[in-house]
Amino acid sequence: MNPHSAAEAGKAHLPSSRGLSWALLTLSFQTLGIIYSDIGTSPLYTLNGLWPADGPVPPTEDVIGGISAIIWALTLLPLCKYVFICLRFGTTEGEGGTFALFQGLFPPELDYTDDDSLLNSSDEKASEVSPSPSMICARQVTTPPKLRLPLFVWCLFGTALTLADGVFTPAVSVTSAVAGIGVAKPSINSDVAPISIALLIVLFLFQFRGTSQIGFLFAPVTFIWLILLAVTGIINTVSYPGIFRAFDPSRAILLFVRTRDYDILAGVLLALTGCEAMFASLGHFNMLSIQLSFSLFVYPSIVLAYLGQGARLIVDGEAVLFNLFYATIPGSTNGPLYWIMFVLGILATFIASQTLITAAFSLVQQMIKNHVLPPLRVVHTSSKIKGQIYIPAINWTLMIVTVIVVGTFRNSTNLSNAYGFSVATVMFSTTILIAIQMRFVKHLPIIVALAFFLVFGFLDGLFWGAALKKIPEGAYVPLIIGSICMLIMLFWSWARGLEDAFDGNHRSDLQHVIVRQQLQTATSEYDAPEIGYEHRQEDRFNDGSSESEKYYICDPEDRIVSTILPSKEYNALLQLARLPTCAVFHRMTSGKGVPHSFAAFIRQWPALPRVVIFLSVHVMSVAYVEPGERYTLRKVPSVRGFYTAIYRLGYRETFSVKVDNFIDTICALEAREDPVNSAATIAEVQAAAKRVTHIAPHYVVSSRSLGSSRFMRAVSWIRKVLIEDIYRRLATMFPDTDGWLGSADEIIHVGVNATL
């Protein structure tokens, strides 16, 4: 075949450019309902946040300067920072918001190795497993360890405020949309808050059904909404074409020089709500689809909307100031366009609220898997899409707090004062973490990271400072909500970290729990077992008898005895019966040695299942793990029927341990090691797998004393209250096994006393 024919044959297998373009356009269209519903509904309330309805009408130059500030804020932050810079850092570590960025900076040490063993001795030879590409990336991270604690606290604060955003986005957007009734029917103004509360309750009540049943409406509704924003904006700009001077950035600068009103930035900040969603939702789409949809459609539509509102404010002044969105809709207040915009506004704000609520569910699930929050119950609402989840406790908490917030603030202007603080903090958090990732994860020159931080950190800092000034006017509410959430997360991660450290530091070697005895000859001197059994005998039976009297005379076949359970027979250890079942012992932390649940199980049930799997769960610093990289299983050569397994999942994935996958791998492993004589072993394994039990430790935690001085006794008392009176109760209420190990009748909890 000549080169030309070869090239043509190769092209025949590639998708056509027309097919790629259509797929890209389809994906870009789908982003409209998932990503942009929040930033797309900002024109409902932004200008009244800038110029309150009960305030004076601003001069013409102030209006042009304010619109200019909004346009250039949208250009510099959502367009330049997020669309053209941040999206390039989200393909792996950047997906999922601030907490995922932190995971990218400090990936779990053992998530990319298979260095776990059940023995600390060199007798157990681990099989070599080649790290996969998604695991090798963690080795390239060089973030200084001393940055871990301050970045962790800052990241938790940003994450907590994102949860607060899940309260204020539904409150602000729905209340602003419902306020349109008051424009057409002024007599209903006093009922805006009750109507908003009723709609919000309906929204939260239907969360249990999942987003899949209403998701097909998201993109078309947002598409029509943005089209109408652009059309009404164009119509309104005709009334005052001079509004296009707002594209001159000097108008924004002169506004602040002339008025010296720093608080204007707090109103401009409202136009940026939802821009973080472009970065956090990258895992659902791709970089190019988000860049196209925002740059070519969303950005022009909302810019035209703000230009039109500004033009009408200059021309009509006080007649439209009371509600700058609904009062500037072309036509009469009872005309068809008005009510179309009203209905679409309600639907668009519902979509924006739904997006934030769903994001809160995903964020909480992510933190649960990383032991930052208690393991709340997670319900999967779709059998096809793994990421569609519902967390009842979070849903009802958000509903109660949102209703209280709407009932307290009463109108959208008051809510807007409180709204911007969480948005500004999350934006600032992202800038800091991206700058650090540029240096220590992407290994870009330090001048690049510094330039990014100085430019965008300065802009974010300006908005953050303006939001801080709004604390007395209502921003204290998201600050309080975020602070409470952060304290809960810090407390749980601290206490759970102590428990995990206890689990990792107090494990026993397998040889210190059970040993295998073999008969050499019935009358000759009994040789020491393979893994140092004679030392354990001397430690346990210090009665002066000779070493040869210490060994139990066994049957010709292998016998398993426990070194922690002496039998009533003199100088003997209790033999453990083998049960025809499969037991999965969950190792709560990475490291060497058997889990505490195994030793506790032996003490309480002196028997061994025929198949024993020691399972470690590793949450990776990538969003999704390839199926071929999910499981690693190997055989423990010391004891027949013992295996270790590592189960990996991305931080966006859900625990779904399928024991059948392990059994298939075990049978394949046994057949590969002994093709001739493995049939009987495989039959035993398959029979045992019909009865599977998950065994997990239940830690009964207690606090240790820190010292005898008066100060240390006080600290010890506080520590005891936190660990024994609070954490112990919460750990009992929210067990780790809830929701992901299987049904309750397949789980055995064994008690372990843990002094932390």
Q: What is the pLDDT of residues 253-311, one digit of tens each?
A: 999 999 988 888 988 998 998 887 777 766 566 778 888 999 999 999 999 999 999 99
Alpha-carbon distance of 308 to 235, in angstroms, equals 7
On whether both 515 and 459 belong to a single domain, the answer is no
CA distances from 444 to 81, 347, 452 (A): 17, 43, 11
Kindly state whether residue 15 falls inside one of the protein's structural domains. Answer: no
Tell me the three state secondary structure of residue 673.
Answer: helix
Q: In the chain, which residues have pLDDT < 50?
A: 1-16, 91-94, 110-116, 120-138, 519-557, 570
* Burial call 137-151: b when 16+ CB within 10 Å, e when fewer: bbeebebeeeeeeeb
| Domains of the chain: total | 2
Residues 551, 476 share a domain? no
Partner residues linked to 753 by β-bridges: 700
Considering the domain architecture, whether residues 456 and 543 belong to the same structural domain is answered as no
326 and 433 assigned to the same domain:
yes
- Indicate the residue type of 660: D
Cα–Cα separations (whole angstroms), residue 428 to 161, 431, 500: 12, 5, 32
Q: Is 737 helix (H, G, I), strand (E, B) or coil?
A: coil
The answer to whether residue 4 is domain-embedded is no
| Residue 134, in any domain of the structure | no
* Last residue within a domain, chosen from 438, 460, 489: 489
**What Rg do the C-alpha atoms of the chain give, in angstroms?**
32
Calculate the alpha carbon distances from 403 to 171, 196, 198, 392 in Å: 8, 9, 9, 17
- Domain co-membership, 444 together with 529: no
Domain hosting residue 296, numbered range: 29-108+142-489
Answer yes or no: is 7 within a domain. no
Amino acid found at 628: G
Residues 551 and 420 in one domain: no
pLDDT number for residue 248: 95
Domain match, 238 and 267 both: yes
CATH of the domain at 58: 1.20.1740.10
The CA distance from 102 to 95, in Å, is 11
pLDDT of the residue at 388: 65
Q: What's the pLDDT at 132?
A: 43
Contact (CB, 8 A) for 482 and 165: no
- pLDDT for the residue 71: 96
Q: Is residue 114 part of a domain?
A: no
Amino acid identity at 394: I
Same domain flag for 471 and 551: no
Are 453 and 573 part of one and the same domain?
Answer: no
Q: What is the DSSP string of 692-729?
A: EEEEEEEEEEEPPP--SSHHHHHHHHHHHIIIIIIIHH
Domain limit, last residue, from 462, 489, 516: 489
Q: Is residue 21 part of a domain?
A: no
What is the reported pLDDT for 55? 86
Last residue of a domain, one of 428, 459, 489: 489
Give domain status of residue 117, yes or no.
no
Q: What 3 state SS string does 490-546 have?
A: HHHHHHHHHHHHHHHHCCECHHHCEEEECCCCCCCCCCCCCCCHHHHHHHHCCCCCC
Shared domain check, 477 and 523: no
CA pair distance 544, 548, nearest whole angstrom: 12
Same domain, 428 and 514: no
Query: What is this structure's pTM?
Result: 0.78
Buried/exposed code over 722-749 (b: 16+ C-beta within 10 A; e: otherwise): ebeeebbeebeebebbebbbeeeeebbb
Based on the fold, state whether residues 658 and 717 are members of the same structural domain: yes
Q: What's the Cα-to-Cα distance from 7 to each of 11, 14, 19, 173, rounded to whole Å? A: 6, 11, 20, 55
* Rounded Cα gap, residues 437 and 85, in angstroms: 12
Residue 118 lies in a domain: no
For the chain, the 3-state helix, strand and coil shares in percent, each to the nearest 5, are: 60, 10, 30
